[in-house]
Amino acid sequence: MQRRFWSLALIGVIVGVNTTVALEAAGKKTTTNKQATVDKPSAASVAGEVDRLLRSELEASKIDIAPRCSDEDFLRRVSFDITGRPPLPQQVTLFGLNPDGNKRAAVIDQLLASSEFGRNWGNYYRDVIFMNATNQQLRGGQSVFEEWIAEQLNANKPWDEIVTTLLTATGDIRENGATALFLAHQSQPAEVAAEACRIFLGIQIQCANCHDHPSDVWKRQQFHELAAYFPRTALRPVLEDGMQRSFEVVSVNFDNRRGGGGPEQIRENPERLMAFMDKNRDGKLSKEEAQNSPGGQFARIFELLLQNGDSDKDGMLSVAEMKKLPDPPMQRRGSSEYFMPDLKDPSSRGTQVNPKFFVDESKPATELPDLERRAAAAKAFTNPENPWFARAIINRLWHEMLGEGFYMPVDDLGPTRTARFPEVLDELSKGFIANKYDVKWLVKTIALTDTYQRAVRSKSVSAPELPFASQTPTHLRADQLFNALVTILGLDDRGPGMGGGMMAGPFAAARSPRNQFHNIFSHDPSTPQEDIIGNVQQALFMMNTPQFRGAVSATGNNRLGQIVRKYNDDQDAIAEVYLLALSREPSDQEIKVCQTYLKDTGNRTEAYEDILWSLLNSSEFLAKR
What pLDDT digit, counting tens, does each position of 2-12 carry? 444 344 344 34
Give the Cα separation of 247 and 182 in Å (integer): 11
- For residue 522, the tally of other CB atoms under 10 A from its CB is 18
Which of 14-28, 306-320, 441-455, 581-595 has the least mean pLDDT? 14-28
Give the Cα separation of 476 and 165 in Å (integer): 29
pLDDT exceeds cutoff 90 at 441: yes
Q: What is the mean pLDDT of residues 302-324?
A: 81
Instruction: For the chain, give every domain's residue range.
Output: 31-68+389-472, 478-624
Q: What is the mean pLDDT of residues 90-101?
A: 97
Q: What is the mean pLDDT of residues 262-289?
A: 73
- Residues 489, 548: contact at Cβ < 8 Å? yes
Q: In terms of pLDDT, which residue wins out, 585 or 305? A: 585
Which of 228-237, 256-265, 473-482, 550-559 has the least mean pLDDT? 256-265
Q: What is the mean pLDDT of residues 145-153?
A: 97
Q: What is the mean pLDDT of residues 84-92?
A: 96
User: What's the whole-number average pLDDT of the chain?
Assistant: 84
pLDDT exceeds cutoff 90 at 547: no
Q: Measure the CA dihedral 540/545/550/553, to 10°.
A: -20
Q: What is the mean pLDDT of residues 557-580?
A: 93
pLDDT exceeds cutoff 90 at 359: yes
- pLDDT confidence bin for 107, thresholds 50/70/90: very high
DSSP character string of 578-594: HHHHHSSPPPHHHHHHH
Q: What is the mean pLDDT of residues 600-618?
A: 94
Which of 160-164, 270-274, 279-283, 485-489 has the least mean pLDDT? 270-274
Quote the pLDDT of residue 327: 52
- pLDDT confidence bin for 596, thresholds 50/70/90: very high
Quote the pLDDT of residue 271: 80
- pLDDT confidence bin for 407, thresholds 50/70/90: very high
Quote the pLDDT of residue 328: 47
Quote the pLDDT of residue 388: 97
Quote the pLDDT of residue 171: 93
pLDDT exceeds cutoff 70 at 498: no
Quote the pLDDT of residue 336: 72
Residue pLDDT, tens place only, 371-380: 999 999 999 9
Nearest to 255 by CA among 246, 265, 245: 265
Q: In terms of pLDDT, which residue wins out, 39 or 442? A: 442
Q: What is the mean pLDDT of residues 93-111?
A: 97
Q: In terms of pLDDT, which residue wins out, 181 or 307? A: 181
pLDDT exceeds cutoff 60 at 50: yes
Q: In terms of pLDDT, which residue wins out, 106 or 268? A: 106
List CB contacts of 145: < 8 A, sequence separation 6 or more: 122, 126, 129, 130, 177, 178, 179, 180
3-state helix, strand, coil in the chain (%, to 5): 55, 5, 40
pLDDT exceeds cutoff 70 at 597: yes
pLDDT exceeds cutoff 50 at 431: yes
Give the Cα separation of 367 and 373 in Å (integer): 9
Quote the pLDDT of residue 508: 55
- pLDDT confidence bin for 209, thresholds 50/70/90: confident
Q: What is the mean pLDDT of residues 569-587?
A: 96
Give the Cα separation of 90 and 591 in Å (integer): 20
